[in-house]
Structure 1
Amino acid sequence: MEFPFGSTVAVAHRGAHGEGRPENSLSAVERTAEIGARAVEFDVVALRDGRLVVSHDEPTGERAESLPDMEQFLRVVAGSDMILNLDWKRRGGEDRACEMLRRYGLLERTLVSSTDRRVITRFKQEAPGVATGISLAQRGTSAAEVAREVSRVVRESRADAAMLEYRGASEETVRVLRGAGVGVFLWTAPDQKTYSELASLEPDGIATDAIEQQLDRQRSL
């Protein structure tokens, strides 16, 4: 995966969720493929019993048993041409994830993001070709300060992209990262209006909770 993309990609945050389609559900990811979105994101947790499940946090008890395996989601993505953003929520299982990504032919179009640099390092060890992104919620007294700090963290983590909480992003941050050859992704636009405002920064991707509205707008232009 090479950056910059050339145009900003709308990323379906936890799938195209909505009425009857909860966040991080298989139906939400299936809907993302149905509406022709270019990219989808969902969260993965490695359970202590070895399972890789789709969840935003580490579940316990009966809830853990009922969560769907990541592999079901990979099958859906493999049957589409979507870019995949796996947001890794807990260390562990990176080797098994890479094996699955290889099996489904998804290594070249997957971006693994995490707040944990050790996760990024492990994915690079297991699959050097997979793209990685360090997730940050940087704030500072000035755009220049944020840009310097983000650049430092990306450089030290050896990530391919920076995944920035959108309220900490600026034109200067994007410009500095672009100059370093780093991909830039923003999270998470809660609505279409916010997405449009963020698009002016020209990042590689914007995670959005309003993917269908955004796609409808793009098609109407």
Structure 2
Amino acid sequence: MHARAVAASTSALLGTAALLFPVSPAAAAPGTGTAPLVIAHRGASAYAPENTLAAVDKAAELGIGWVENDVQRTRDGALVVLHDDNLRRTTDAEEVFPGRAPWKVKDFTAAEIARLDAGSWFGPAYAGARVPTLEQFVHRVERHHQKLLLEIKNPELYPGIEQQTLKVLSNEGWLDRAHLEGRLIMQSFSAGSVRTVHELKPGVKTGFLGTPRVADLSVYAGFTDQINPSYSTLSRAYVSSVQALDGPHGRPLEVFTWTVDEAATAQRVAGYGVDGIITNRPDAVREAVGG
């Protein structure tokens, strides 16, 4: 996830309330008695190449139960796990396909993407790592008995990706009762995409990535279970405003904030009462907040 610019009205709303409150290293969400969940952003991406199976394995090695990923679609309709809408930053696409600029994911087939090295950019120990398909990724998450926070990336580029993602998840056994009740959340920066997921499969827990105005939260509560903002936009007052509303499943809206890598920041947002913290360094954040 990239930090998105916050609307001026939202900034004004949050600015006066964004006070810093020191908290203890084992900060629990106020009133819950529990520390926030810790979610490994693109896998344990501080220690292994993001969105690869190696990053899932590293999160499991660290004892992290939740993994976040990003899903996009290839030219021939396969779903692959990759953050950027192009292949340049995290693969060797420029070398393998020098005449295919700007190397957009949607312009390559699944077989072509499967040829790319998605690990060498991170370090020689990961040379030869591949861009996983969504099927491969959920198999690995399942192997480790982990839980998945799945982001539909750039849905405007991939019409119908919500239904397709749900179909893959269904085929892989991820839409049964056990997964829906505690092992799967689907999120997006697109409110329309989140609404579509909710309408297609009401049982799926959903999250909206962003910081809507407090006045608009009741609208979001009709189709999303979470409001998931950048930590830089958060205040205790905003978190409380979100959690005061019930979502579509009759439970209070939750807040998962991103992307928090520093202990002091993790302690601060835990003190605000967030329900989850998305981080590249899940071990460090877990130690900081007791999650």
Q: Are 1:9 and 2:37 an aligned pair?
A: yes
Structure 1: which 5+ residue stretches go unaligned?
Answer: 139-145
> What is the alpha-carbon distance in structure 2 between the residues aligned to residue 5 and residue 184 of structure 1?
16
- In structure 2, the partner of 1:32 is 59
> What is the alpha-carbon distance in structure 2 between the residues aligned to residue 217 and residue 200 of structure 1?
12
> What is the alpha-carbon distance in structure 1 between the residues aligned to residue 42 and residue 200 of structure 2?
25
Kindly indicate whether the alpha-carbon contact (under 8 Å) linking 1:6 and 1:204 is maintained by their aligned counterparts in 2.
no
Aligned 1:1-221 pairs, distance under 5 A: 7-19=35-47, 21-59=48-86, 62=97, 64=105, 65=113, 66=116, 67-91=131-155, 92-107=160-175, 108=180, 109-137=183-211, 146-149=213-216, 151-152=217-218, 154-155=220-221, 158-180=223-245, 181-217=252-288
> Aligned partner of 2:173: which letter?
G
3-state DSSP of counterpart to 1:200:
helix
| Equivalent residues, number | 207
Structure 2: which 5+ residue stretches go unaligned?
Answer: 1-31, 88-92, 98-102, 106-112, 117-130, 246-251
Kindly indicate whether the alpha-carbon contact (under 8 Å) linking 2:152 and 2:188 is maintained by their aligned counterparts in 1.
yes
Bigger RCO of structures 1 and 2 (CA < 8 A, at least 6 apart) = 2
Q: Which has the higher strand share?
A: 1
Q: How high is the TM-score relative to the length of structure 2?
A: 0.64
Q: Residue 5 and residue 209 in structure 1: after superposition, are their counterparts in 2 closer, same or farther (change >3 A)?
A: farther
> What is the alpha-carbon distance in structure 2 between the residues aligned to residue 35 and residue 130 of structure 1?
27
Kindly indicate whether the alpha-carbon contact (under 8 Å) linking 1:135 and 1:162 is maintained by their aligned counterparts in 2.
yes
> What is the alpha-carbon distance in structure 1 between the residues aligned to residue 201 and residue 194 of structure 2?
11
Per-residue CA deviations over 1:95-133 (Å, capped at 9, x if unaligned) read 232123234333312111101122112222332211111
3-state DSSP of counterpart to 1:183:
coil
Larger Rg: 2
> What is the alpha-carbon distance in structure 1 between the residues aligned to residue 243 and residue 57 of structure 2?
33
Per-residue CA deviations over 1:33-71 (Å, capped at 9, x if unaligned) read 222112111111123421111111222675641332111
3-state DSSP of counterpart to 2:209:
strand
Moved more, 189-198 or 170-179: 189-198
> What is the alpha-carbon distance in structure 2 between the residues aligned to residue 217 and residue 174 of structure 1?
20
> What is the alpha-carbon distance in structure 1 between the residues aligned to residue 275 and residue 285 of structure 2?
16
Per-residue CA deviations over 1:130-163 (Å, capped at 9, x if unaligned) read 111111145xxxxxxx4334x155236x211101
Q: Residue 218 and residue 203 in structure 1: after superposition, are their counterparts in 2 closer, same or farther (change >3 A)?
A: closer
Q: Residue 104 and residue 34 in structure 1: after superposition, are their counterparts in 2 closer, same or farther (change >3 A)?
A: farther
Percentage of identical aligned residues: 29
Moved more, 23-32 or 5-14: 5-14
Q: Residue 166 and residue 153 in structure 1: after superposition, are their counterparts in 2 closer, same or farther (change >3 A)?
A: farther
> What is the alpha-carbon distance in structure 2 between the residues aligned to residue 106 and residue 5 of structure 1?
30
Q: Which has the higher helix share?
A: 1
> What is the alpha-carbon distance in structure 1 between the residues aligned to residue 46 and residue 38 of structure 2?
17
Kindly indicate whether the alpha-carbon contact (under 8 Å) linking 1:12 and 1:37 is maintained by their aligned counterparts in 2.
yes
> What is the alpha-carbon distance in structure 2 between the residues aligned to residue 210 and residue 197 of structure 1?
16
Shift of 1:201: 1.3
Runs of 4+ in 1 over 6 A off after TM superposition: none
Q: Residue 96 and residue 5 in structure 1: after superposition, are their counterparts in 2 closer, same or farther (change >3 A)?
A: farther
- Alignment RMSD: 2.5
